[in-house]
Amino acid sequence: MLSQEETLKFDDISTLPHSEQQNWKAALNEEMESMKENDVWDLEELPMDRKAISCRWVLRKKRDGKYKARLVARGFMQKEGVDYFETFSPVISMPALRLLLIIMLNENSNVLVLDVKTAFLNGELNETIYMDQPKGYDDNIGRKCKLKKSLYGL
């Protein structure tokens, strides 16, 4: 059993009891389905002048007992000025959030909070980035994922 802070390595899934393996496989499949639904990449041959970054699975069991698998690009392998030219995070800044909440309080507005499950996967990429296929989902013919949208870790 995992504690709240522990993560599991992909290769360790096979050492778990069958029911646990099934839960993790379902979480992995759900994440891969999100990648397909959001059209995150195309599988292509890697051009000779390009390098592919690797990726890894981040696996954790949430407090509510849900199994969560997230595919993360190992973006630290990229070089600024070669693989990318600018970075930003598509989230609201704390000062902007505070200002928005003050305006809403002043206007007696209601606040509705929600979470878009795969919002991060909607960010379009300006750079051409190739990534290895995820462990457990490799077609074994040497193709790479040509990313079309942002992925966790970039």
State the SS3 of 60-75. EECCCCCEEEEEEECH
pLDDT at position 79, please?
60
User: Which parts of the chain have pLDDT scores under 70?
Assistant: 1-6, 76-90, 114-123, 153
pLDDT at position 119, please?
57
Q: Is residue 112 part of a domain?
A: yes
Q: Is residue 124 part of a domain?
A: yes
Residue 54 to residue 145: CA distance in whole angstroms: 10
Task: Please state the length of the chain.
Answer: 154
> How many domains does the chain contain in total?
1
The residues, any chain, with a CB within 8 Å of residue 120's CB and separated by 6 or more, are: 90, 150, 151, 152
**pTM surpassing 0.75?**
no
pLDDT at position 110, please?
83
pLDDT at position 114, please?
61
pLDDT at position 19, please?
93
pLDDT at position 42, please?
95
- Residue 27 C-alpha from the chain's centroid: 13
Q: Is residue 5 part of a domain?
A: no
Q: Is residue 56 part of a domain?
A: yes
Q: Is residue 154 part of a domain?
A: no
pLDDT at position 36, please?
93
pLDDT at position 122, please?
61
- The boundaries of the domain holding residue 129 are 10-149
Pseudo-torsion of CA 121, 122, 127, 133, nearest 10°? 30
